[in-house]
Structure 1
Amino acid sequence: MVPRPQSSAAGVLALLTEPDPLLKQHALKALIALVPQFWAEISEHIALIESLYESSDLPAESRSFAALLASKVYYYLEEYDEALSFALGAGSAFEQDARTPGQEEYVETMISKAIDRYIEARSEEQSGKGTEIDSRLRDIIEGIFRRCIEDGEFKQAVGIALESRRLDVIAHIYEQTHDTGLLSYAMEAVLDTNFSLSYRDEVLNFLYNLFPSLTDDSNAPHIHSLTRLLVTISSPSLTVPLLKSLLPKQKVLAYQLAFDLVEGGSQEFLDTVRNELPEGDEETKPTFDTLRRILGGEESVKLYREFLRRNNKTDMIILKNTKDALEPRSSIYHTAITFQNAFMHAGTTSDIFLRENLEWLGYASNWSKFTATAALGVIHKGNFEQGMVILGPYLPDQNGGETQMAGAAYSEGGALYALGLINSGMGSGRPVETYLRDILKAAQGEIVQHGAALGLGVASMGGRNAEAYDDLKQTLFTDSAVAGEGAGYAMGLVMLGTGDATCADEMLTYARETQHEKIIRGLAVGLALLYYGRQEQADDMINQLLAEKDPILRYGGVYTLALAYAGTSNNDGVRKLLHIAVSDTSDDVRRAAVTSLAFLLFKNPGQVPRIVQLLSESYNPHVRCGATLALGIACAGTGLQDAVEILEPMTKDGVDFVRQGAFVALGMVLVEQSEAASPSVASTRALYSKIISDKHEDPIARFGAALGQGFIDAGGRNVTISLQSRSGTQNRSAVVGMVMFCQFWYWYPLAHCASLAFEPTGIIGLNEELKAPKFDFISNARPSLFAYPSVTKPPKKEVATKVATAVLSTTAKVKARERRKAAEEGKKDGDVEMKSEEPSSSTQHGDVSPIELPQGQTSESKSLLSKRKEPTSETLSNFSRVTPAQMMHIVIPSSSRYQPVRPVSTKPPRAAKTGKASTSSLLLEKYAGGGGILMLIDKRPDEPAEFIEFAQDVAPPAAPLAAVGNGGAPIPDDRENLHVSLDEGPETEPPRPFEYPFDNDT
């Protein structure tokens, strides 16, 4: 038998047992190079190698080699903790080996593990639970920081510093670079990752002190980051001094900061800042008064309302075609058209469709009437001044007495809900809140109570008014299913984001005691709203709700998780939702879990299609339905083709409510997308029309297509759907609005809350007097990429045309015989009388001469030459629509008289694009940020200026429902007719009581 040859490692391993230290050192160095090939054989001697590392008889260098060898052996054995421990002991040997080619994977793994261990040790040290950090580990991390800074890898160093809570490193890097972009990067990193609330606030306060002062004009570009920082920590103690420091010299910049704070700040925060601003002296008092007016929110709302009114491009033919196709006597179809009209006219103050279709409106009955009246709140959203006047004909009297007119309670309840939508998020502490509270306490019927509760919740959202909460609680305790459900939602809305333990205990206790599923559902979602943005502080409540036996409370637990970690992309939260989506016994809970993925991941929409891809193919239709809404909400307004490619096949699903979800989601994703930028826009619009006009299609699917039409053309085609504000903060109103919209599955009127997520997209320039001057700016992109959709052409009237007379083959033979006979008799052909003369080709087709083309040129090439080449840019004027993806292409020329006090976009402007290469990159931009209300500096104040004249805010009280059409001309007052249509339309008799033929009524 031939002896087995000995490996090269075996001989070297034998040297480890030699007494000579030099031989041992030589063997260790040789084995280090052999580990990648012979690690399995060397691992059999790991105990010997470890003993050499611990031996005091060997010199320090030899012991370092032994530690490095042991580390590499454990690395190949995938014992990474042991490998790191010995790598730390290797010291200089590890650093020397790191420079050796071919060791990159091992070194990167060890450095990664060292960083993880250091982060863990620092967290324990900060909390007071850990011991002192190993000095060797500290030295490695310090070396990493040093190399990153030397190599210019500042962002990598900032990321490690944030994770390891080394804020001193961030300060050191900023002192060397003075780059505010690194501070903004650190801020975004801490906001968009899984840091605790306390540490997040600590970092943001630290970064705020590093940002340079805004009083220097050159530092204004970082106002976006400062705005996001101040809104997130909601600290009046930082905000008020900053505003004061800008006065009186930087008055315009102070106004800009105030407008930006209103975009994302909570109502409580803004009210506190307003109250803490000083009165000012004779010079500054007018400026402080203007700041208070801006922070109140009314100025922003008024400007956006004017923007939507001026640019209203609602396609009335689409609405008319939908109305003609859907049977008005069907409540689901009537409600679908109501939502579509409300969304398409949201914020435009144009109720022209209602006025022109009074007969259709008269078919509304019961809750359809409630929904139709509430739609006025969406159409007139933000019209605070005239809200009570517009809804006056429908509102109940102050004493709560309900009109005896048939069905009046539904229109009264809907009007109260509409009043809340008009004042959404702006009603706390204002007269409308007092009015709604008085009506809620005085009302006797549950329908009016329901409307008053929803209106109060939406209007006072985030106001934290304890008295309003108590009034709602008393309504809840009446144990009326309809009124209690509205009160449950409203309690969560009023106390939004407080995480109040007392409120949570009261709501959860009552949800366990009541027998009404409606009330349980309202309280379950209300609890989720209560813990909005509380992150780890909500964990106990989340675990408690998810462990409940009642599936409705587990449903609330899913939304509590979604709202507590909204926008954080929390990995644990995503894993938990995915587990629930495939394991819970309730279809409702599983659907909610998939939908809720959108609320965690909306800041990273590109990830959502990949995550829900398999879920969209689930055997369970509820899971598939949840996948559609997750894609729609997370990818809203992006036109993301990956999302569209998943949704389009789902429009042909075999289950009607899955198709409904796909239609709704497509409308959300493709809102404000042009046909040139997104190839799916035209086909989606055609699909909507086809489904709606198909009488054999399921009603639920047709309902979804109508909603999709409303979303894709929302706000007169001038709004997008975004859960982020322009400065990048979470848009609380939009997040809450979409959560409430998702509840339309159980209660259709809640779909109106989707309007809370509609964000006008335009540039509104103002001077220091808050007037809108006329000026132009440039969009460096092909106009077709961001153009409005083409208007639907009305059907052409068909004109009857003469049909050519049929000529039989026998007729031709007869004619031939007659010609021959005439020739024989010496007659001319022209003298023969013909009873039937075949028309000539020129008579049949018209006397059209052929087009003469140059030699070698076809008609197709000639038409291409005749087409005018599209320009690469366009000029827009103040108050023009600018979509989110277009914002980064906007440039205000340096020669312009008016210059913005801050950058137009949070991203640097792009140069003009040619060709189609830019289209795909545009669709990947979730939100370029910026835009909106821009304060302008007049570079030539001595020259006369032209200003845009605003329209009068709605009509005077004598004509409360006078609308403004697309052309801007007032429409005659039809208040009485419209009121009669809603309140005296045909009323359906309630069905006779009956008993279910089975015992289980769940």
Structure 2
Amino acid sequence: MANEKKDKDAVALSVPSKGGEPPEEGKKDANKKKNAKEKQEELSEEDRQKKEELELLVQRAQDSDQGVAKMAMEAMVKELKESTSSMTSVPKPLKFLRPHYSTLTEHYSKMPASDLKRFFADVLSILSTTMQKQGSRQALKYRLEGTKEGLTSWGHEYIRNIAGEIGEEFKERSEKGAPVADLLSLVEEIVPFNMKHNAEVDAIDLLCEVEKVQTIEKLCEEPSFSRVCLYLQGLANFAATQADKVMYLQVCMNLYLRYKEYTLALRIALKLNDPQLVSSVFSACEDRLVQKQMAFMISRQKFNHDFEEDDELKEIASGESLSKHFISLAKELDVLEPKLPEQIYKSHLEEKRSTAVLDSAKQNLASSFVNAFVNAGCCKDELMTVADSKWVYKNKDQGMMSTVGSLGALLLWGIDEGLTQIDKYQWSTDNNLKAGALLAFGLVTCGVKNECDPAWALLGEQLEAEDPQLRLAAVVGLGYAYAGSCREDLMENLTPMIVDTACSIECSAMAAVSLGLVFVSSCNDEVAQAILQTLIERQAVENALSGTWPHFFAVGLGLLYLGQQDAAEATLSALDAITHPMGKYAKLTVEGLAFAYSGDVLHVQKMLQACTDHLEESESFHQAAAVLGIALIAFGEECGAEMACRSIDHILQYGEITLRRAVPLALAILHLSNPKVLVIDTLSKLSHDADQDVATGAIMSMGLIGAGTNNARLAGLLRQLAAYYAKDPNALFMVRIAQGLLYMGKGLLTINPLFSDRFLVDPVAFGSLTVLAHSVLHLKNTILGKSHYLLYHVVPAMRPRWLITVDEEMNELKVPVRVGQAVDVTGMAGRPKQITGFQTRTTPVLLNFQDRRKRKSRGKTRSLPSA
């Protein structure tokens, strides 16, 4: 009985939560109220007093007597301005006024128009910075309704907030066509304040928002102009339109010219690819040494500039001294001694898995290419330049042509000596040897201008030769020799060959490619019309656009618009007339090249869209051009390249076989002469792929990413591949080519088109590498077939990765310099270090992909870097 009673009592004591709420929620509310009460009680005596004072001021501000109200507001302003607290907390007056914000705004709306109301609006504008609803732009609204005085007296945080709201309001009004004069008057007050207080980035951002960026020129002073220019150059990469990009760079150039930074102004002019701007920089500069430095820059860009009667500058810009300085560098670093292909292969380190005897002619041809790449520019080797060399006769047919052509790479830039050594082959009775000599003539003069114009004298007459092989070699040789020169006489001679169906399709296609290289980035309309005409005419003939070579018409057409973006619009529209599948390939190729190194996200998305269709293998070849297009557009911008790599990785996992074949090449384009570990590992896996085209493309790509770096990891992987593919002559041939590229120029050369602190792109190098990439897409019918001469399209991209210094008389000079990893200092305050982890060396020095050099101060010696 007693136990039962206890149980009843227990039940009787249970109490339901008040108002039918769950017990937990009731507890939470109670705790919140308790915490709020405790917080209130926690206020110190001083804070409580401050709170009461401010509450009193709020009441007085609403007083009907204007004098009392004004005094209250002035006291409030004083409190707000004098309040100080830590950087991470809201000032106490703002915190205590927060609950009264709605009361004050309501009172303001009822006030009649007067000076007091305008003063009140100023106060509300300040309070709105922390109290307004997001997106309401009340701080700007009250500022415009206020006295418009003392805007800059409230500090950076308030100004930054107002600037952001001005940008949003300006955009909204511009779309509606509403007047914006009141906003611009605020901008005219904010920007000088920002410039005066080292907030150049904020000033430029605001001017960009209101489309008045040119006004920064008047506000820049000597201490700040370099930071302004650096930030504008960074902005140009992310400009919404090409016109905006040009405008930002033009402002930079004007500032550099005003402060006599002529070499930096020339970089901008070259970036804009504008001959008139380049001329204006030269005419503005009067310092002879700086003019010589700029002539070296013109030579590096292979820019077509007329120096009129100035023979000294013309000689520097011609690049004729390149060979002399390069050989001097090789001597200094003790690598001038020729290397044999076997020293590169290191066959004794390969694991012997087979005793199969392969086609010796193919392996000898591989050795010819390897010998040419490894000893490039050194002017001597152990196979071709030795007296009574018989090496050329160890090859067959077209192999003999490429072997003789290798002399052009060996003697690169050394015109006087080179032409003499090649000359004996042009009198041969064997057309293969004569054709090889024509190729070599073109290669040896690649990137060098000579007043005697030997390449045209030797190759021009062969354009009408009866033998098709000689005609082809002359066309290709002229493309190498005059790449980037925009020579009108070449257009007159080569354009008929594009449209002439009596020529072989290979010769016509290579004429289009050569003209593309000669007029690279020039948007030349006559050449474009000729290529479009032949594509449209050949479409009407059955199978005329089938096979490998018609694709090269598209490459030649794309090269004309390399990096010129919207200038290709008319040509892209014209390509819609081609209903053959070739039309899609041409359109994607031209678009990819036109927007190359622009980082344009919309066009990357277009390329990705083209990759999503699931088509039959015979109909999907245009998708390979889309994959290459992704890499071309993202090239040169670190963040964009990383995003492109991720997209390409998805294509690799989920794409059709046509897409997968282009993936290794896309990775190679993004990392030319820059062997990143993750990319090496990816290509290494693909080099063992079940599909032979994917595997051979990956092997070639390994050579391109390691070109000229002597990378030990790649060298080991390629030796393993040589053993793995010992029975496969084609794969082994590609392994040997990759090994030759890896040790290119004995580690003194690079093929990366980026230079001048990765700000400028060499269009000739980029264009010729694109031709090589498209050749590798058709590997079986080009490089592994009879057109292996296409491998020499890597030669126009070869440049020494050096820093050399010369004195006023152009004699080499040893200067101490600091070489370290480049640091991006765009937008950083003060004078941050531009390199990190540097070592002090004496010129000449070699620079890696991400290296930057800084001159170590040394008396009054003036030095002129050649690259």
1:469·1:491 contact (CA, 8 Å) conserved in 2?
yes
Measure how far apart 1:873 and its partner are.
Answer: 8.5
Change (3 A) 1:477 1:567: closer
1:985: which partner in 2?
Answer: none
Measure how far apart 1:206 and its partner are.
Answer: 4.0
2:293·2:866 contact (CA, 8 Å) conserved in 1?
no
Residues 525-534 or 629-638, more deviating: 629-638
**Residues 879-912 of structure 1: CA distance to partner in whole angstroms, max 9, x if unpaired?**
4544454543x654626xx83446xxxxxxxxxx
Measure how far apart 1:525 and its partner are.
Answer: 0.9
2:762 and 2:438 map into 1 onto residues whose CA distance is 25
**Residues 514-562 of structure 1: CA distance to partner in whole angstroms, max 9, x if unpaired?**
2154552232111101112321111332355478433333323223223
Equivalent residue runs for 1:206-225 within 5 Å: 206-211=251-256, 222-225=261-264
- Given candidates 421, 426, 451, the residue that maps to 2:473 is 451
1:191·1:200 contact (CA, 8 Å) conserved in 2?
yes
Change (3 A) 1:654 1:150: farther
1:899: which partner in 2?
Answer: 861
Task: Work out whether 1:373 is the aligned partner of 2:404.
Answer: yes
Pick the structure with more helix per residue: 2
- Given candidates 343, 349, 356, the residue that maps to 1:318 is 343
Task: Work out whether 1:505 is the aligned partner of 2:529.
Answer: yes
2:400 and 2:648 map into 1 onto residues whose CA distance is 37
Task: Work out whether 1:553 is the aligned partner of 2:593.
Answer: no
2:668: which partner in 1?
Answer: 632
Task: Work out whether 1:382 is the aligned partner of 2:434.
Answer: no
1:977: which partner in 2?
Answer: none
1:294: which partner in 2?
Answer: 316
2:107 and 2:432 map into 1 onto residues whose CA distance is 84
**Residues 136-177 of structure 1: CA distance to partner in whole angstroms, max 9, x if unpaired?**
6546655764664465321243244346432344224413x5
Residues 465-474 or 639-648, more deviating: 639-648
1:780 and 1:232 map into 2 onto residues whose CA distance is 25
2:762 and 2:249 map into 1 onto residues whose CA distance is 19
1:348·1:716 contact (CA, 8 Å) conserved in 2?
no
Equivalent residue runs for 1:411-560 within 5 Å: 411-426=433-448, 431-435=453-457, 438-479=460-501, 480-514=504-538, 515-517=544-546, 518-545=548-575, 548-560=578-590
2:179 and 2:339 map into 1 onto residues whose CA distance is 67
Instruction: Compute the RMSD of aligned alpha carbons.
Output: 4.7
1:350 and 1:240 map into 2 onto residues whose CA distance is 39
1:84·1:110 contact (CA, 8 Å) conserved in 2?
no
1:412 and 1:116 map into 2 onto residues whose CA distance is 68
1:13: which partner in 2?
Answer: none
1:162·1:186 contact (CA, 8 Å) conserved in 2?
no
Change (3 A) 1:667 1:203: same
1:825: which partner in 2?
Answer: none
1:583: which partner in 2?
Answer: 613
1:899 partner SS? coil
Measure how far apart 1:109 and its partner are.
Answer: 10
Paired AA for residue 767 in structure 1: D
1:432 and 1:301 map into 2 onto residues whose CA distance is 17
Change (3 A) 1:667 1:131: same
Task: Work out whether 1:189 is the aligned partner of 2:234.
Answer: yes
**Residues 42-68 of structure 1: CA distance to partner in whole angstroms, max 9, x if unpaired?**
xxxxxxxxxx99999998899999999
Change (3 A) 1:537 1:320: closer
2:673·2:708 contact (CA, 8 Å) conserved in 1?
yes
1:647: which partner in 2?
Answer: 683
2:173 and 2:406 map into 1 onto residues whose CA distance is 56
2:416 partner SS? coil
Measure how far apart 1:361 and its partner are.
Answer: 4.3
Equivalent residue runs for 1:127-146 within 5 Å: 131=177, 133-135=179-181, 137-138=183-184, 145=191
2:575 and 2:132 map into 1 onto residues whose CA distance is 44
Measure how far apart 1:666 and its partner are.
Answer: 3.2
1:603: which partner in 2?
Answer: 636
Paired AA for residue 595 in structure 2: Y
1:353 partner SS? coil
Paired AA for residue 178 in structure 1: P
* Higher relative contact order, structure no. (Cα contacts within 8 Å, ≥ 6 residues apart): 1
2:81: which partner in 1?
Answer: none
Task: Work out whether 1:757 is the aligned partner of 2:797.
Answer: yes
1:777·1:891 contact (CA, 8 Å) conserved in 2?
yes
2:462·2:471 contact (CA, 8 Å) conserved in 1?
yes
Q: Normalising by structure 2, what TM-score?
A: 0.71
Measure how far apart 1:355 and its partner are.
Answer: 6.2
Change (3 A) 1:521 1:164: farther
1:71·1:87 contact (CA, 8 Å) conserved in 2?
yes
1:583 partner SS? coil
2:592 partner SS? helix
**Residues 806-835 of structure 1: CA distance to partner in whole angstroms, max 9, x if unpaired?**
xxxxxxxxxxxxxxxxxxxxxxxxxxxxxx
1:261: which partner in 2?
Answer: 298
- Given candidates 382, 400, 425, the residue that maps to 1:394 is 425
Residues 518-527 or 548-557, more deviating: 548-557
1:38: which partner in 2?
Answer: none
Change (3 A) 1:304 1:682: closer
Measure how far apart 1:584 and its partner are.
Answer: 7.5
Aligned residues: 717
2:127 and 2:20 map into 1 onto residues whose CA distance is 29
Measure how far apart 1:760 and its partner are.
Answer: 0.4
1:312 partner SS? coil
2:53: which partner in 1?
Answer: none
Measure how far apart 1:471 and its partner are.
Answer: 1.4
- Given candidates 203, 224, 230, the residue that maps to 1:179 is 224
1:932: which partner in 2?
Answer: 866
Equivalent residue runs for 1:19-98 within 5 Å: 83=135, 89=141, 91=143
1:374·1:414 contact (CA, 8 Å) conserved in 2?
yes
Change (3 A) 1:428 1:874: closer
Change (3 A) 1:561 1:148: farther
2:826: which partner in 1?
Answer: none
Identity %: 17
Measure how far apart 1:508 and its partner are.
Answer: 0.7
2:698: which partner in 1?
Answer: 662
Change (3 A) 1:449 1:542: same
Q: Where does structure 1 lack aligned partners over 5 or more consecutive residues?
A: 8-21, 24-51, 77-82, 125-129, 278-287, 397-402, 675-680, 783-871, 903-930, 934-1002
Measure how far apart 1:296 and its partner are.
Answer: 2.6
Measure how far apart 1:228 and its partner are.
Answer: 0.4
Change (3 A) 1:413 1:672: closer
2:861 partner SS? strand
Measure how far apart 1:112 and its partner are.
Answer: 5.6
Task: Work out whether 1:744 is the aligned partner of 2:775.
Answer: yes
Change (3 A) 1:120 1:354: farther
Change (3 A) 1:245 1:682: closer
**Residues 468-516 of structure 1: CA distance to partner in whole angstroms, max 9, x if unpaired?**
2121122233322222122121222232222133432221121122215
Measure how far apart 1:731 and its partner are.
Answer: 0.8
1:575 and 1:428 map into 2 onto residues whose CA distance is 44
1:645 and 1:695 map into 2 onto residues whose CA distance is 18
1:830: which partner in 2?
Answer: none
Q: Where does structure 2 lack aligned partners over 5 or more consecutive residues?
A: 1-17, 30-61, 64-105, 539-543, 784-788, 822-836
Q: Normalising by structure 1, what TM-score?
A: 0.62
1:263·1:726 contact (CA, 8 Å) conserved in 2?
no
2:373·2:741 contact (CA, 8 Å) conserved in 1?
yes
Paired AA for residue 629 in structure 2: S
Measure how far apart 1:350 and its partner are.
Answer: 2.3
Change (3 A) 1:108 1:776: closer
2:426·2:438 contact (CA, 8 Å) conserved in 1?
yes
Measure how far apart 1:453 and its partner are.
Answer: 0.9
